[in-house]
Every structure is written in structure tokens, then in C-alpha cells.
A and B are shown apart, each in its own frame.
Chain A
Amino acid sequence: MKKELLFITVIGEDKKGIVARVSDFLYRHDINIEDINQRIMGDGYFVMTMLVDIKAAIISMEKITEGLEAIGQSLELRIQLQHENIFKMMHRV
């Protein structure tokens, strides 16, 4: 089955439970995590990216976005969900 890959970007201040909260949400909705990276950027922001496959997800993309936004609000972080194509287009010639 062809994968449908999206990036979740978490931006803000590092704190406990970010990976746990996001991955628990993904697990409960049959979304597989393909890759995780995190870094403190030059401007001081904590950034975590997750590459996820939503092919088998049991909820719509709209609901995934809503769920992630709710987690973002409770942890005071910005969480953005974007299909991987936009990064391929913008960052690869």
C-alpha cells in the first residue's frame, strides 16, 4: 500500500511530554511514525519534526489537524501538519 506521508512540525519551548502526547494521539488513530527529529534552532526555538504515514488513519485529515492543534494549545506550542510534497517542492530542485 502506497504511503501518504505528512510532516508534523512542533515549534516552541522544550518541555516534558511533547513526544508522549503527540505519539499517543497518533497511535490511537492508527497513524504510523516513520521518522522523528528534533533540534534547538539558532533563534532558540525547540523544533521537532515527525514524518508520519496517515494511509491507515481512522480519522480524516481535518480531525488530525484539530487534534494536533488541541495538543499544541494545551502545551503552548505551535503544531503544523503539512503533506510532504510541499517540502519536496520547496527544498529540492
Chain B
Amino acid sequence: MTISVEEVYETASMILYQNLDIRTTTLGINLKDCIDSDFGKFREKVYDKIYSNAVKMVAHAKTLEMKYGIPIANKRVSVTPVSLIMESHCEKNKFIEMARTLDKAAADAGIDFIGGFGALVQKGLTRSDRMLVEVLPDVLSRTDRVCSFLNVGSNVAGLNLDAVNLLGGMLKLTAAKSKNAIGCAKFVVFVNAPEDNPFMAGAFHGVGEGDIALNIGISGPGVVKTVVAQNRECDLTQLSEVIKRTVFKITRAGELIGRELAAALDIPFGIVDISLASTTAAGDSVANVIEAFGIEHIGAHGSTLAVALLMDAVKKGGAMASGNVGGLSGTFIPVSEDEGMIDAVQAGALSLDKLEALTSVCSVGLDMFAIPGDTPEETINAIIADELAIGIINNKTTAVRVIPVPGKKAGDLVAFGGLLGTAPVMAVNRFSAKNFLKRGGRLPAPVTSMRN
């Protein structure tokens, strides 16, 4: 079997010029076996298990980067939902201590984010779940690497509105306690959260998972944009085909790295998440892909169709490339981390309402967007509840990562720095759903027939 010059060049160009990388290798670690009635010993076991495994992963990942000449942008860890392992140590200080332990283990092992400081509350909250939500403003503002999630609904449980109603206040407090409200960037609220998602801030090691697993997140909006730009004249069917072929190739690269890394660590290979994920780097933008389709700015009428086409083609190409596709697998459209999204908001092309519409066909949801600091907490809860309802009714994962920035108003710009980018503050609807949301309770699980 010979590989042609053109094929070698195509791969090399993807990496050198189109920002192809392995976005993340995320080690999922079960912490249930660390539980101990002695809290000191408990923390020690948690630290040791995370550190010893993570440090090996970081070293082997570096070797593979060299072998294949492909950057592995982030090395991360996800753990068992922390509220679950803290049930018998349900005290505020102990939760904060545990968060510090996770933060330190990650820092010492060279891990940039550790996910899983969260809870599964789709049906109801335990005392430990409530305590976790209560300490989140302190945890998110006082630690650097700890990421948090809540799963507040599912197709089979419905939507836990009582849990949603805790979040607006929690997020505003987190924003007030952290510089530029950055703590809010480390918290995601989900429905139908996948248990093997490798992407932060929402990664956790699900209770249905084994002791340890290696999950891979690929990337490549720059690669897809290039191939779309080279095919300006083709119709939608052909466009879908060229995207499928490209996503097949980049998913195979992820599969290769994942399998070899798992084998080197002698642990099971979990999943490849084939999501197109933007970064703040120039050209690494999902919005730019949509624009290369022929849309002036993402957010213009026609964008929902474009995102739907992109999303479906990505899934088809990825599913052919790997038998282990999992996680979120689709297309992320975070605002602050994607230069095309930022431009679209600033140009007036993309409003919060259109962003919500786009999320009904993208893989995740309303991600990394800033809203005015004086937004009432009930309105934040309502934004979250709307987005999550889309997921519940459409059998899909949806999520919200919202940043209410104190002192900022619509049109202002907030720089988070680094991977988190810059967010233009988006206007929210000024009318209230307060009296609806205060009813509380649970949206019943939807009927699964009559799906029109």
C-alpha cells in the first residue's frame, strides 16, 4: 500500500495550516473506591488516584504528539460526580476541601481542567446535591481547574425545574465572586448529559462507566472550512459528501491517537467525540464554516439549515470512521471562543433568540455567552429552562453555560483570556417569566410517540 504525495500533503496541511489537532484527551476516573469515613484518608486516596493516572497520561500523550506530528491541545481528567461520593461527608467545608484536592491533583499532574464537581439531579436533589450547589460560588471562584456540571433533566425523567430555579442566584453569586465573572465559564447545566463526554466544562465520569477510560475529543473547524471553501459551486448533497469525507479523516486520526494512548496506559479506550469545536485561534471557527457555505454572518436567516447540514454530515462521517463515537458528537457554537460568532454578534446578525434556534440542531446548546450583570436571576433560570426544554422534547443533549457579567450591559465586550476568549454581552428579553417559573416542580417526561 502506497500513500501518495497528495495524501501526505493533505494531512500535513491540515495540521500545519488548518489548526487540526486532537482537542482533548480526557481520562475518566472512578472515585467511588476512594470513599473513606476518615475524610483525610478519603482526600489522600482521591489525590493519589487522580495524580498517578493523570501524570502517566500526560507523559504518553507527549510521546504520541511527536510520533504523529499532531498536537494534543489539552490533557484533562473527569471524575465521578462529586456529590455522589460526598453523601456521607455532607458539610460545606468538606466540599470546598474536596474541590481543593481535585484542583491540586490536576495542577500537580499538568492537567488544565478537571471535570465532575457536579451532580445528577434530573429527578430530585439529595442533601449532598443541594450542598454542592450551595458551595459552587466558592468553589468556582476559588479554584483554577475544577469544572462543574448539573444534569437537571432527561427524556425519561423530565425537567427538574426546582433544580433549575437554584441556578440563576448561584451563577450571579459566582460572577460576583470571580474576576470578570470567569467562575461561570466553569459550570454547565445539562439535560441528557452523556456520561463519557471528554469536553470541558461538562465532562464527568458517569456512574455507568468502568474504573477508568480514555476519551478523545477531536476538532477541525479549520479543516472543514477549507474543504467547503474549495467547493463553492456544489449543491447541498455534494456539500454534505465533502464534509463527510473530511470528518471521516479527522475522526480516524482521533481514533488512532485514542487507541494507542489507551494501549500505552493499559486502560480501556472509551469514545471519540467528533464534535467540531472552535478555538480562539484565527480560522478555527465553526461560524466561519457556516459563512463559507454562503451565509454573510452566522445568525442570518438560513443559518439553522446550514448548521443542520453541517451537524448531520459531521455525524455521518464520524460514525463511519469509528465504532466508538460517543460524548456530544456534533458541532459546538460557543460565542466567546469563536471569532466568527463574536463578529456575528457585534454585527447585529446573531441574537440570543437566533442562537437558541441554532441550538435545536447543533449538538450542545447555549455556550459561553455573556449577558448583562443586572439580568434578574429568574430570567437566567428561564433562559436555562427554555434551552433545556429543547433537549427534553427533541431527545438530545442540550446545555447552558451563561455568564452574567456584573456592571456590564448589552453591547459591552468582556475578555476572559486564553481558551475562553472574548464575549460580547448579549441583550436578553426584558419581560419576565417569574410567575411561571416559581410554580416549580418537574416538567413531565415527554411522550415518545407522535413526534411531529
Residue ranges of A at the interface with B (Cβ–Cβ < 8 Å)? 7, 9, 11, 35, 37-39, 41, 45, 47-49, 51, 61-62, 65, 78, 80-92
Contact = CB atoms under 8 A, between A and B. Distances in A.
Given A9-B8, A41-B9, A90-B11, A84 B66 contact: no
A38 B5 contact: yes
27 contacts: A9-B8, A9-B9, A11-B16, A37-B4, A37-B5, A39-B6, A39-B9, A48-B5, A49-B3, A51-B3, A62-B66, A80-B12, A80-B15, A80-B16, A81-B69, A82-B12, A82-B68, A82-B70, A86-B11, A86-B68, A86-B70, A86-B253, A87-B8, A89-B255, A89-B256, A90-B7, A90-B249
A89 B3 contact: no
Interface centre among B2, B5, B12 (most CB of A within 10 A): B12
Contacts of A35: 2
Nearest to A8: B8
B362 to A, nearest CB: 25
Contacts of B3: 7, 49, 51, 84, 87-88, 91
B347 interface: no
B317 to A, nearest CB: 12
Nearest to B63: A61
Interface in B221-253: 249-250, 252-253
B67 interface: yes
A49 B8 contact: yes
B8 A7 contact: yes
Size bracket, chain B contacts: 20 to 34
A39 B5 contact: yes
Nearest to B8: A49
Contacts of B249: 90-91
Contact of A82 (B2, B5, B11, B255): B11
B1 interface: yes
B9 A49 contact: yes
A86 B256 contact: yes
Interface centre among B3, B5, B15 (most CB of A within 10 A): B3
B12 A83 contact: no
Contacts of B16: 11, 78, 80
B250 to A, nearest CB: 8
A47 B256 contact: no
Given A61-B66, A61-B67, A89 B6 contact: no
Interface string B399-419: 000000000000000000000
B10 to A, nearest CB: 8
A4 to B, nearest CB: 10
A85 B3 CA distance: 11
Contacts of B15: 80
Nearest to B254: A89
B7 A47 contact: no
Contacts of A88: 1, 3
A9 B11 CA distance: 10
A67 B256 CA distance: 26
Contact of A91 (B7, B13, B255): B7
A76 B62 CA distance: 26
Nearest to A65: B66
Contacts of B66: 61-62, 65
Interface string B37-70: 0000000000000000000000000000011111
Nearest to A91: B7
Nearest to A86: B68
A47 B3 CA distance: 14
Contacts of A87: 3, 7-8, 11
B5 A85 contact: no
A57 B356 CA distance: 56
Nearest to A87: B3
Interface centre among A81, A85, A89, A92 (most CB of B within 10 A): A89
A59 to B, nearest CB: 13
